[in-house]
Structure 1
Amino acid sequence: MNTGIFQTSIGNDLAIAADWLRQSELVAIPTETVYGLAGNALKEESVLKIFLAKDRPRFNPLILHVPDIDAVKKYVLGISPVMELLMNTFSPGPITFLLDKNPDLVSDVVTAGSSKVAVRIPAHPVTQALLKQLDFPLVAPSANRFGYVSPVTAAHVYEGLQGRIPYILDGGTCTVGVESTIVDEEDGQLIIRRTGKVSMEDIAKATGILPALKTHAEDHPVAPGMLKTHYATHTPLYLGNATDTSALAAGKKVIIMGWGSKESIAASYHFQGTTILLQVVSLSNDCRIDEVASKLFASMRNADNLGAEAILVEPFPNEGIGQAINDRLQRASVLH
């Protein structure tokens, strides 16, 4: 792809964004989770441009974005009672549903050949307003080059996709900070394919059903975000116990990330004399896990620009959105 084809601009004009999308071009859009790279879901020409702009493999499916539940029903063959309950409980919001697609409307290019389509109703008011101006749904994976850390500001999008897309619709900083939960259903069993803000506990409380966790697939993922290596910084990131990663980073220039005071984060690590500690990053001074999620990707991107040779981070409590945070860090980590 010619990466300099556009003079990419950033703005908040819905009419400009809608016009580009009607021309089958791509627009970066804000959501409550991360920025998405949007195209007309009903035009294969537009959908294929997403794969090219992101350097994204064609076997990785995309998520359909629609304004409301009535729109969801148009593009799927049906919604089970439990999935409709979840939709009514958590949508609009950071949750995506894998449903049997309407093959007359949803192309195999969108679903990577799967009979199911991932659909979500985003809560961000700017994108809600945009969707209501359009007579077609949008497909929108994260608006970054494939495999890199997802963008949570318009500036992040510009860094990665400048020249590749015409317009970035600026909606401020994303509030959730990690991608949506993806929930599937097979034979009456709920399955989480990707963890996110809506947790296993949230889903169990709403439905009375404890979902299974099946979040890994390499060759043919049934949902986005299932690849083993993803969300990665250019600087090697080590996720693990502070003692172990301190040893692995011996002699390197390092950045450490965690929560709480910077002093308490640093106290967990014990470096050899030749190791240079460039910076300590607290994702939440008062240990609020939602704040960690909202700052995670931006902090990872910032750490990439500081000349470090390693980024070290310990896992967070593995419950609620902490499960999603650990998932993203594990996929970014060089330690698998």
Structure 2
Amino acid sequence: METKLFDQDHIAEAAAVLAKGGLVAFPTETVYGLGASALLPDAVAQVYQVKGRPSDNPLIVHVAAAEQVAAFVDNLSPMAKQLMDTFWPGPLTLIFKIKPDSLPSIVTGGLTTAAFRMPDHPQTLALISQAQQPLVGPSANTSGKPSPTSAAHVWHDLHGKIAGILDGGATRIGVESTVLDLSDPSGTPIILRPGAIAKEQLETVLETEVLLDKHLVSAGEVPKAPGMKYKHYAPNTKVMMVHDTDWPAAINWAQANHFKVGVLAGPTIAEAVRKETAAIYQYFDDSPEAAARGLFAGLRALDESTAALDLLLAATFTEAGIGAAYMNRLKKAANHEYFQENK
């Protein structure tokens, strides 16, 4: 299959491909999504096949306007409307109980709930509008690997497997959206996946408690939202997390074991360890925002480095704000393994 690169001037052509059941990757402010019509089961089945994604992993439905959600959800609560008014378009996914048979079961993973998001990217909003149907949009990569934050990343993983890629440049945030479960109208809202919209922001808007579910699903359990599996976002090269105070010991340990090491970190740590490492992916600055934006690109770049690395060491951040989203992804990429000095 030939994979075509679409630009701003060819959105209508990309939309026509989607309307006919083809697959087109699209940019968002978070990561690139692999688009297919959410109303065409055969198209959605192709998404699972192309990604190598487990079929019990539900998909997020992307809409171009909040009003589109009403076709699938009865009686949106005042809380839901408030969140949509405040954060849409933006990196917030909301899970609702849906009308029976309003979406193909292949989209929902067989659940009675579905996740919805309105992405904050003008090209993709135009794409959804011109396709005249909502789109599923899981990350446009091989399942389980680092998510794509540029059209080049999508091309690397999926060229020859999908009809096209809408090139919208590098993504602005770099980690997937916050997923908030509102499927129980009488219950407390629960974050199933942290993202750029933090727990504190949601609580400020809602003026009520928001819970954070740290539960990771087992192999035989159906996840309610994407990204809840134990190991995810992982490159082929082993990843290990390093606390700020442990870098000298971690570098000494790696040298003693003759490991060729790559490092993902901000400028302060990168400069301190540069002479002792084989390759470095340096975040723009020392902030968690820069780390989140660069994490997936960094994992990909070091994994594919000509230095043939044995190990990737990654900087950690406090789990607050977008730092919580960064650490959520990094922990899964590292299979929850930290460097320990007595290793």
Cα RMSD over matched residues? 1.8
SS of the residue 1:281 aligns to:
strand
Q: CA deviation at 1:247?
A: 6.5
**Residues 83-98 of structure 1 correspond to what in structure 2 (within 5 A)?**
83-98=80-95
**Structure-2 separation of matches of 1:91 and 1:76:** 17
Partner of 2:3: 8
1:14-44: CA deviation from partner (whole Å, max 9, x where unpaired): 1221121111010001111100001010010
Normalising by structure 2, what TM-score? Answer: 0.90
Partner of 2:128: 131
Query: Within the alignment, does 1:252 sit opposite 2:249 as a pair?
Result: no
**Structure-2 separation of matches of 1:88 and 1:248:** 51
Q: Which amino acid aligns with 1:130?
A: L
Query: Within the alignment, does 1:122 sit opposite 2:122 as a pair?
Result: no
**Residues 20-39 of structure 1 correspond to what in structure 2 (within 5 A)?**
20-39=17-36
Q: CA deviation at 1:222?
A: 0.5
**Residues 95-114 of structure 1 correspond to what in structure 2 (within 5 A)?**
95-114=92-111
Structure 1 segments unaligned to the other structure (5+ residues): 1-5
Equivalent residues of 1:235, 1:310 under 8 A apart: yes
Normalising by structure 1, what TM-score? Answer: 0.91
Partner of 2:287: 288
Q: CA deviation at 1:97?
A: 0.2
Query: Within the alignment, does 1:198 sit opposite 2:216 as a pair?
Result: no
Partner of 2:141: 144
Moved over 6 A (4+): none
Equivalent residues of 1:228, 1:331 under 8 A apart: yes
**Structure-1 separation of matches of 2:50 and 2:28:** 19
C-alpha distance 265-59 of structure 1, shift in aligned 2 (>3 A): farther
Partner of 2:327: 326
**Structure-1 separation of matches of 2:109 and 2:253:** 39
Query: Within the alignment, does 1:313 sit opposite 2:320 as a pair?
Result: no
Equivalent residues of 1:25, 1:166 under 8 A apart: yes
Structure 2 segments unaligned to the other structure (5+ residues): 338-343
Partner of 2:210: 211
1:278-326: CA deviation from partner (whole Å, max 9, x where unpaired): 02332133x2322221121111110111211100013112110000000
**Structure-2 separation of matches of 1:17 and 1:11:** 7
Equivalent residues of 1:265, 1:282 under 8 A apart: no
1:37-67: CA deviation from partner (whole Å, max 9, x where unpaired): 0101001001100000000000100000001
1:204-233: CA deviation from partner (whole Å, max 9, x where unpaired): 111112311114223210011111110001
Q: CA deviation at 1:254?
A: 0.3
**Which deviates further from its counterpart, 309-318 or 58-67?**
309-318
**Residues 150-165 of structure 1 correspond to what in structure 2 (within 5 A)?**
150-165=147-162
**Structure-1 separation of matches of 2:270 and 2:52:** 40
Equivalent residues of 2:16, 2:131 under 8 A apart: no
Partner of 2:236: 234
**Structure-2 separation of matches of 1:7 and 1:62:** 25
Q: How many residues align?
A: 323
**Structure-1 separation of matches of 2:270 and 2:23:** 44
Equivalent residues of 1:257, 1:265 under 8 A apart: no
Equivalent residues of 1:265, 1:280 under 8 A apart: no
Q: CA deviation at 1:76?
A: 1.4
Identity of aligned residues (%): 36
**Structure-1 separation of matches of 2:99 and 2:181:** 16
Partner of 1:3: none
Q: CA deviation at 1:10?
A: 1.2
SS of the residue 2:44 aligns to:
helix
**Structure-1 separation of matches of 2:270 and 2:161:** 42
**Structure-2 separation of matches of 1:56 and 1:247:** 38
SS of the residue 1:172 aligns to:
coil
**Which deviates further from its counterpart, 143-152 or 288-297?**
288-297
SS of the residue 2:278 aligns to:
strand
Query: Within the alignment, does 1:71 sit opposite 2:68 as a pair?
Result: yes
**Structure-2 separation of matches of 1:106 and 1:248:** 52
**Structure-2 separation of matches of 1:224 and 1:334:** 17
Q: CA deviation at 1:94?
A: 0.4
